[in-house]
Every structure is written in structure tokens, then in C-alpha cells.
Structure 1
Amino acid sequence: MHPGEPHDAGVSGRLNWLRAGVLGANDGIVSTAGLVVGVAGATTSTGPILTAGIAGLVAGAVSMALGEYVSVSSQRDTERALLDKERGELADFPDEELEELAALYEAKGLSSRTAWLVARELTEKDAFAAHADVELHLDPDELTDPWQAAGASAVAFTTGSLLPLAAILLPPAGARVPVAFLVVIAALAATGYLSARLGGARPARAVTRLVTGGALAMAVTFGIGALVGTAVT
């Protein structure tokens, strides 16, 4: 084992959170960019673009936070129910649970003798923790907090949304859409590369997917905005 190589579960958990943050920021970039570029296709007035961008940012952040809260709460409720059931089984059927734990270790490749030895020692130390880990693949002390997940999603989405919003508002009216397009494409390439590296995937494929999808979204919304703007005027 290399001394600098991360092997603990905490590192894996932090990487999962970081990946989720990158993906949340990417959602903010794409959705807000599509919205403000679409409005910019209909009008060069700053007011409607700013209003649409802020509305999209707030609505998206709230939606992301609420969806994450509901999802993580459901997952946490399920995990707690499984842990409570395991506690009850350990209290009511300790011998059967010991046999089950030994069988699980044997299924992982340990010899029968070693599996029983490990099962007995872990049961004497903390039977509940041993079963939660091997049988349920859960850490009772590390269940995901739905409020933390909701807040992280809202922050990530808001952070991503601010970039296209600034890119469309800061340049002169005639350069807004080209500047926003280039900034968003660069941001999508960066988030695609980072998410791929964190997930151990090939960056080129992830970058291509994100850049292509983001460019298509902006092109479609700009075209619709231009058609609607022309029809209204």
C-alpha cells in the first residue's frame, strides 16, 4: 500500500460530495445560460435579461435543494429502518446473526475457520457495527444529512448560475451572446474535465458531451428567443 494513497471511506465520501457539487454547478451553468441567452435573443434590454436570470437562478436553486432534500431524506429513512431492523435481529437472534456474519466473511473469500474467528472477534467488539458494515454496507455514524445535501445543492447551482449571468450582463449589448457563449463553453469544458477526473473516467468524452449539449441548448434557446422577439415586435 502506497503511503500517499487514500484508502479510508472519508476520502471516498468527500470525493462523492465534490462530484455532486461539480454536477450541481454544471446544472446551474447550462440551465441559466440557456435561459438568459434565449431572452437575449428576443431583446437587448438589460432589465428582462437580468430578471429572467435571477428568476431562473432562484427557482433552480430551490428546486435542486428541495429535490435533494426529499431524495436524501427518503434514503436516510430507509437506511435507519434497515439499521433498526438489524438491531432487533441482533437482540432476538444473536446466534443466528453470528452465523450469518461468519457466512458473509466466508463468501468474501476467507476460510471457514478464519471467517468464524473474525466474526466472533468483531461481534465481541461491536456486533451492530460489524453487521451494518458487512451486511448493509452502512456506517451508522455517517448517514447523509438531508439538510446538508440540500444546502450543498443550492450553493452549487447558484455558483454555476452566476457565471452565465455575469457573462451576459457585463459585456456591451452587441457582444453579450458571443461572450456568454464562449464563457459558458469554457466553463462546461472545465467542469466536464473535473468531474471526469474525480470519477476516474476519460475527460475527453465527458468534455465533449457537456460542451456539445451546452452549445446545443444555447443555440436552440437563442433561436427560439429570436423568433419570439421578432413575432412580438
Structure 2
Amino acid sequence: MVSIDEITPEDVAAHAAAYRAAAGPVPKDPDALLEDFMKTPLFMTSLPTGEDAEGNETLQALQSLVYEGNPDEIATNFKNQGNDCFQTGKSQYRNAIEYYSKGLAARSEDRKLNSILHSNRAAVNLELANYGKVLTDCAAALRLDVKNIKAFYRSAKALYALDRLKEALNCCDMGLEAAPTNAALKGERERIMKRQAELDELDRKRKERERKKAEDAERLWTAIRVR
């Protein structure tokens, strides 16, 4: 038997290595496993660039695919990726905006496709309460395709949020001229009318208070003069 005094640091290291080899790799915690899983190109929700992409041939191949084809095909591909991100939820909204923007940057000559890209980007910004950007994109969408009903609808919702109710109502009416049976536009129009009625009632009550206040002041002034 070897005494403790005869054991060297090298012996300890050798025994430790043998133990680790026999025990196998230490399992990772679930969060670490998920992180490694999402680094696999097939399961990435967005493609990294720069240093993160260097040396990864699979990733570089995937990145090159999104720019293959003619401008219409490239724009459509980015539109579809943007749609996927938008449907994933709030965590992917910024990526959705980026994909729609890249689709527009492809310079497709398909006016309807470009109109959809603008309108879809407006949908994301509507969720993010970026109402100015919503109106800008919807205006661009309608210049490209006056029958883009979703652009009318999203414009109306943004204007409603800004309390620009007359303009919102006008958007609904113009959209309904092109699509008289559109349920979303009809519902939004009803919501706008209800809000307008509420504001009108508040304004009526305010004016009534002001009228009574003026009458009270006049009666008081009359009483003072009589004295």
C-alpha cells in the first residue's frame, strides 16, 4: 500500500483524469443546452453577421441563399421571413422590421409586393405603438396599390390611437369604398364612431358647465349692481 507521504501531485492529477473519463461529461443545465441548440443554423431565428458568422460555412451558405434570385424573388423571400418573425411574437418584431426593410431594398418592380412590404412593416410598428411610422408606411403602400385594404385599416388604427378621429373615419370610408364588406374596417369604423360620440358628449358637458358658470357670474354681477 502506498502511504500518503508517497503520493505526488502528478498521481492526484492522473487519478482525477481517470475519474472524469469514467464518469463521462458533466451534463449542462437546460439553459446552456438551449443556447447551444439555438446556435445551430437550422434552428436560428435570425442570422448573425460579422465575427459571429465567420468560419461557419453552413451559416454563410444560408446567408447567401436569401440573396439568390431576381429582385422579386429576393423581396418575396424577405417578406416571408418577416412574416415568420412577426407571427413568432414580440421578441422577433425588430427582426421582422429588418426583413421587410431588406425586402424593400431589393428594389422589386412589383408594385403590389412593395405595397405589401410597406403595409406589413406598418403592422409591426402598429404593435410597437410607432404610429408615425405606421402612417408613413401605409401612405407609401397606398401610393403603390390603392386597393391595399390593410393599409387603410392600419392607418385608421394609428389615427385612432392619436385621437385624429375624423382622419381615421375617412380612412375607413375610403377602404370600404374598395371593399364594402370588409369586416375589420367596419368594426374599426364603429369603434371610431363610438369614440367620437363619447368625445362629443364630453364636449357638450364642458360647454354646459361653462354656460352655467357664465350665467352664475352674470347673476352675481346683476345682484351687486342692484345693491
Question: What range describes the TM-score normalised by the shorter chain of this pair?
Answer: under 0.3
TM-score normalised per structure 2: 0.26
Answer 1 or 2: which has greater helix percent: 1
TM-score normalized with structure 1 length: 0.25
